[in-house]
Chain A
Amino acid sequence: MKSNLNIKQRFFKDRSIFVIVCVFSLLSSIPLIAILGEVFVKGISQFSLSFFTLPTPTAYKVLKAVEQGLPIPGGIANGIIGSMIMLLIASAVAIPLGILCGAYIADNSKQRFAKFVSYLTDLLQGTPSVIIGIITYIWIVIPMKTYSALAGSIALCIMMLPLIIRSTEETLRILPSSLKEAGLALGANKAKLMLKVQLPSAFGGIFTGILLAISRVIGETAPLMFTALGCSFIRLSLDKPISAVPLLIWEFFNDPYQQELIWGASLFLLTFVLTLNLLSKYLTRKWKK
């Protein structure tokens, strides 16, 4: 009879721990749901064609609209275009560099230099973004004597690098060693093996890493404050200050008349990041099959 009671007790314990775990996970997801809800409700009303095609309004236009009680005109096109330009340049440098570096570390994990680089990558990944911004300011903005899209791209590139290096390295490392041996047994050299067998096989993981790196830096504000600065109209040149969506949010916040635009810009950023995250999840699952 005693053992029977014991089983009941164990069952009860199991159930209560299950309930506690559920309650806590619900609690921890409340902030996320609240943020998404708030941004969605406040931001969705601003989504219109002009929001995506027009640059931010000038102070004069804003004042006039406020006087007449009209909705504030303009959009965040300058920010979207600026973000995309900087992202494109940063990716163009960070992706090939990161993949090569990750491949080197994964393939020579016993070498002292590879360990050193791997350690530096960790360090870089943990560096606060504002410090990366300041460093880029000193390296690029001061010598060029101007804030520029180029400086912003470099700051973002530095932020993307460790993420891409890590994901490349980790994906390559979990490839079965039989794949490597099979390639070598056919007489391949290391470079060929990496290019033709290992990197293609790791493509899914590397691509996911790239998507996550992009979604990470698209929302970065601090490094862009010292480098890209911001700009109130659509600009395509690389050697002049340029706008970015997170920078716009900061600017709107400081302007009492443009507070509403914050929500539209935030919703845009959130949607972008969420889409990339979901896409990477979907692709990971698809490639695993």
Chain B
Amino acid sequence: MEKINTILEFNKTCVSYTQQTMAVKYVTAQIEKNSITSIMGPSGCGKSTLLRAVNLMHKLYPNIRVEGEILLNGENILSMNPIEVRRNIGMVFQRPTPFPTMSIKENILSGFTLNSIRLDKYQKEEIVEQTLKSVSLWEEVKDVLNKKGTFLSGGQQQRLCIARALALKPQILLMDEPTSALDPIATKHIEDLLIELQKDVTILIVTHNMGQAKRISKHSMFMYLGEMVEYDLTENMFTNPKDERTKAYLTGQMG
């Protein structure tokens, strides 16, 4: 693979739920800064598990163990404080998760509230407007900022969640199948948005949808049964997969 400007690096990363079985086996890969990298694979191949480990989400569940290293700018995040890691690495989930008791505005600012960061009124307004503009939601919601976030449509809610994660200016944005609960038009919106956002933030996205990986990502990773089978430029992988399993998956014979 060509030389890249690395921001995140997996070094023999393993994740296991039980003593006997590993959900992710010795993944080693470098993620390029300010680009979109997608992780593909059939259900249960460990792609979400790997993604969640980057955000230390596994620490919620004491029986999950992560071994090896995950380096953010050369520093191993597995030994860092989860709160610090999560402020630098945002995450968007499969289903939109706006906080149901908060208004649109409060949802955007929730990252600051939850981290006890005080902002004055002017800063708040600026952050809300800027982040909503960056996910092209501003025009749609600027008059209803005080309404609950749950009143929005699914696609709008998901963009709100992206905005909420972006408000903290993370270096990396993790996305766990962010469009699988959305209709094709909302999906298109989000994809366009991600392509736009990659100049500011590195995006690591887990997707079920090969077409999506092909459309938006520069690099793609293919995982199968916890193993990283292939990791390459998306273009190379889709035109000329090196491994038989990748080929089988891409041609629809597996999955």
Contacts A192-B114, A196-B110 known; A187 to B100 CB distance under 8 Å?
no
- The answer to whether B115 touches A178, judged by C-beta atoms less than 8 angstroms apart, is no
With a CB–CB cut-off of 8 A, which chain B residues contact A201?
99-101
Contacts A192-B114, A196-B110, A196-B113 known; A187 to B97 CB distance under 8 Å?
no
Q: Which residues of B in the span 174-213 have a Cβ within 8 Å of any Cβ on A?
A: none
Task: Please measure, in the bound complex, the distance between the C-alpha atom of A180 and the C-alpha atom of B86, giving whole angstroms.
Answer: 14
Q: Which residues of A in the span 29-47 have a Cβ within 8 Å of any Cβ on B?
A: none
Task: Please measure, in the bound complex, the distance between the C-alpha atom of A185 and the C-alpha atom of B57, giving whole angstroms.
Answer: 8
Task: Please measure, in the bound complex, the distance between the C-alpha atom of A192 and the C-alpha atom of B110, giving whole angstroms.
Answer: 11
Least Cβ distance of B72 to chain A in Å? 14
- The answer to whether A189 touches B100, judged by C-beta atoms less than 8 angstroms apart, is no
Contacts A178-B93, A178-B95, A181-B57 known; A186 to B101 CB distance under 8 Å?
no
Whether A183 is near chain B, meaning CB under 8 Å from some CB there, is yes
- The answer to whether B114 touches A196, judged by C-beta atoms less than 8 angstroms apart, is yes
- The answer to whether B114 touches A188, judged by C-beta atoms less than 8 angstroms apart, is yes
Q: What per-residue 1/0 map shows which CB atoms of B81-102 lie under 8 Å from chain A? A: 0111011001101010101111
Please pick, from A183, A192, A203, the residue contacting B116 in the complex, using a CB distance under 8 A.
A192
With a CB–CB cut-off of 8 A, which chain A residues contact B93?
178, 181-182, 185
Residue of A whose beta carbon sits closest to that of B88 = A187
- The answer to whether A197 touches B97, judged by C-beta atoms less than 8 angstroms apart, is no
Task: Please measure, in the bound complex, the distance between the C-alpha atom of A44 and the C-alpha atom of B102, giving whole angstroms.
Answer: 46
Task: Please measure, in the bound complex, the distance between the C-alpha atom of A200 and the C-alpha atom of B82, giving whole angstroms.
Answer: 24
- The answer to whether B116 touches A186, judged by C-beta atoms less than 8 angstroms apart, is no
Whether B4 is near chain A, meaning CB under 8 Å from some CB there, is no
Interface size class on chain B is 20 to 34
- The answer to whether A182 touches B115, judged by C-beta atoms less than 8 angstroms apart, is no
Whether B165 is near chain A, meaning CB under 8 Å from some CB there, is yes
Whether A193 is near chain B, meaning CB under 8 Å from some CB there, is yes
- The answer to whether A178 touches B97, judged by C-beta atoms less than 8 angstroms apart, is yes
Residue of B whose beta carbon sits closest to that of A203 = B101
Task: Please measure, in the bound complex, the distance between the C-alpha atom of A201 and the C-alpha atom of B99, giving whole angstroms.
Answer: 8
Task: Please measure, in the bound complex, the distance between the C-alpha atom of A179 and the C-alpha atom of B86, giving whole angstroms.
Answer: 15
- The answer to whether A189 touches B83, judged by C-beta atoms less than 8 angstroms apart, is yes
Please pick, from B60, B101, B115, the residue contacting A181 in the complex, using a CB distance under 8 A.
B60
Whether B168 is near chain A, meaning CB under 8 Å from some CB there, is yes
Contacts A181-B57, A187-B86, A201-B100 known; A110 to B114 CB distance under 8 Å?
no
- The answer to whether B60 touches A197, judged by C-beta atoms less than 8 angstroms apart, is no
With a CB–CB cut-off of 8 A, which chain B residues contact A181?
57, 60, 91, 93, 97
Least Cβ distance of A67 to chain B in Å? 63
Whether B154 is near chain A, meaning CB under 8 Å from some CB there, is no
- The answer to whether B115 touches A184, judged by C-beta atoms less than 8 angstroms apart, is no
Residue of B84, B86, B165, B168 contacting most chain A CB atoms (<10 Å): B86
- The answer to whether B97 touches A182, judged by C-beta atoms less than 8 angstroms apart, is yes
- The answer to whether A187 touches B87, judged by C-beta atoms less than 8 angstroms apart, is yes
With a CB–CB cut-off of 8 A, which chain B residues contact A197?
99, 101, 110, 114
With a CB–CB cut-off of 8 A, which chain A residues contact B101?
197, 200-201, 203
Contacts A179-B97, A193-B114 known; A187 to B83 CB distance under 8 Å?
yes
Whether B234 is near chain A, meaning CB under 8 Å from some CB there, is no
Residue of A186, A188, A201 contacting most chain B CB atoms (<10 Å): A186
Whether B68 is near chain A, meaning CB under 8 Å from some CB there, is no
Least Cβ distance of B135 to chain A in Å? 16
Whether B252 is near chain A, meaning CB under 8 Å from some CB there, is no
Task: Please measure, in the bound complex, the distance between the C-alpha atom of A189 and the C-alpha atom of B82, giving whole angstroms.
Answer: 9
With a CB–CB cut-off of 8 A, which chain A residues contact B50?
none
Q: What per-residue 1/0 map shows which CB atoms of A195-218 lie under 8 Å from chain B? A: 011001101000000000000000
- The answer to whether B115 touches A186, judged by C-beta atoms less than 8 angstroms apart, is yes
Q: What per-residue 1/0 map shows which CB atoms of B160-172 lie under 8 Å from chain A? A: 0100110010000
Q: Which residues of A in the span 78-112 have a Cβ within 8 Å of any Cβ on B?
A: 110
Whether B55 is near chain A, meaning CB under 8 Å from some CB there, is yes
Whether B42 is near chain A, meaning CB under 8 Å from some CB there, is no
Task: Please measure, in the bound complex, the distance between the C-alpha atom of A243 and the C-alpha atom of B82, giving whole angstroms.
Answer: 55
Least Cβ distance of B102 to chain A in Å? 8
Q: Which residues of B in the span 58-77 have a Cβ within 8 Å of any Cβ on A?
A: 60, 62
With a CB–CB cut-off of 8 A, which chain A residues contact B100?
179, 201
With a CB–CB cut-off of 8 A, which chain B residues contact A179?
97, 99-100
- The answer to whether A187 touches B95, judged by C-beta atoms less than 8 angstroms apart, is no
Whether B241 is near chain A, meaning CB under 8 Å from some CB there, is no
Q: Can you name 12 A-B residue pairings with CB atoms under 8 Å? A: A178-B97, A181-B60, A182-B161, A184-B82, A186-B86, A186-B87, A186-B164, A192-B113, A196-B110, A196-B113, A200-B102, A201-B99
Interface residues in chain B, defined as those with a beta carbon under 8 Å from any beta carbon in chain A: 55, 57, 60, 62, 82-84, 86-87, 90-91, 93, 95, 97, 99-102, 110-111, 113-116, 161, 164-165, 168
* Known contacts A181-B91, A182-B99, A201-B99; 14 further A-B pairs (Cβ under 8 A): A178-B95, A179-B97, A181-B93, A184-B82, A185-B86, A187-B86, A188-B83, A192-B114, A193-B114, A196-B110, A196-B113, A197-B101, A197-B114, A200-B101
Closest 8 CB pairs of A and B: A188-B114, A185-B91, A187-B87, A200-B101, A182-B97, A187-B86, A186-B111, A178-B97
